[in-house]
Amino acid sequence: MTVEGTVYLDHAGTTPLDPKVLEAMVPYFTQHFGNPSSLHSVGQEARYALDEARERVAGVLNCRPREIVFTAGGTESDNAAIHGVATALHETGNHIVTSSVEHHAVLHSCQYLESQGFEVTYLSVDADGMVQPEAVYNAINERTTLVTIMYGNNEIGTINPISEIAKSVKKRAEELSRTIVFHTDAVQAAGYLSLDVAELGVDSKIVVAGILMMGGMTGYFLILTIWKRRPEALIKTRPQETHVSGDSKLVTEDEHSTITVSGKSLAEFL
Ligand SMILES: Cc1ncc(COP(=O)(O)O)c(C=O)c1O
């Protein structure tokens, strides 16, 4: 697109709002503005919109609607996933495998966890900038609880073989008889690559974080499927977004998010 004579080529950074999305969102600013956690009819209308959005996004990801937690962005999703999983599984291990070319939302989360006593293996990429599944397999040990490898790289555009990496994680986890969660930062993949978790060959122990903003509001969601225990909430308050299965907020979504979430779900980019 052009902006006053400038050719804008940074859609991987952010995009303008698609008019169709804007149109879909407007009623939630003016008519259906209720707090989705409220029991009154105005709130329930907003709740309906959220539920509908959740269903639509679940269709894209091929997961259950209740496995989706909407967040404010990729950084929040990555942080919630990494800190949440590392904390939830801390009793079983303290080792994380990632790559040296992850986005700062992942790298800085891992570095913080290192300062708290976790061990992190930062895998190098090959000559083409790819993370090799065998390297992931070899890095996993009997203390590993989390593997986090990005889907599409935001700097050089490489696309990692996520389903192959998922297979390596699963194989190693079975050999070691342990729960190892595989997380992928999929922020740059949405709109271009399949986000179908079954097609990606991942089992229920995956966390997919992030969705980029092709024509939707800048904003993302996080899905957390998984095992019996919900990761520790990053931000404590009364239950809202995590009401489906959590006892406190995972992230910072508030009452006003219906607008963003509805816009996102209606965005045609999915
Ligand atoms: C691969 C990747 N991960 C995470 C993020 C962080 O997303 P956000 O800016 O929404 O916090 C970005 C941002 O572009 C990204 O490209």
Pocket around ligand 1: residues whose beta carbon is below 6 Å from it?
Answer: 73-75, 78, 103, 105, 150, 154, 185, 187-188, 210, 220
Distance from the alpha carbon of residue 39 to the mean position of ligand 1, in angstroms = 35
pLDDT at 206 > cutoff 60: no
Q: How far apart are the first and last CA of the chain?
A: 20
Alpha-carbon separation of residue 196 from 4, 107, 132, 179, 243 (angstroms): 38, 25, 21, 22, 25
* pLDDT of amino acid 247: 37
pLDDT at 213 > cutoff 50: no
* pLDDT of amino acid 114: 97
| Span of 71-75, 117-121, 212-216 with lowest mean pLDDT | 212-216
Per-residue pLDDT averaged across 205-232, rounded? 49
Distance from the alpha carbon of residue 119 to the mean position of ligand 1, in angstroms = 24
Per-residue pLDDT averaged across 113-133, rounded? 97
* pLDDT of amino acid 1: 59
* pLDDT of amino acid 149: 93
Per-residue pLDDT averaged across 95-108, rounded? 96
Give residue-wise pLDDT tens across range 77-94: 788 888 888 888 899 999
pLDDT at 207 > cutoff 60: no
pLDDT at 107 > cutoff 90: yes
* pTM for the whole structure: 0.84
Owner of token pair 């986090």: 148
Q: How far apart are CA 181 and CA 207, in angstroms?
A: 7
11 versus 104: which is more confidently predicted? Answer: 104
* pLDDT of amino acid 92: 93
Contact between 159 and 128 under an 8 Å Cβ cutoff? The reply is no
* pLDDT of amino acid 194: 86
State the closest ligand 1 atom to the C-alpha of 102, by its place in the atom list counted from 1. 1
Give residue-wise pLDDT tens across range 14-65: 777 777 777 877 888 888 888 887 889 988 888 888 888 878 878 888 877 7
Contact between 62 and 196 under an 8 Å Cβ cutoff? The reply is yes
Q: How far apart are CA 67 and CA 200, in angstroms?
A: 17
87 versus 127: which is more confidently predicted? Answer: 127
Distance from the alpha carbon of residue 106 to the mean position of ligand 1, in angstroms = 9
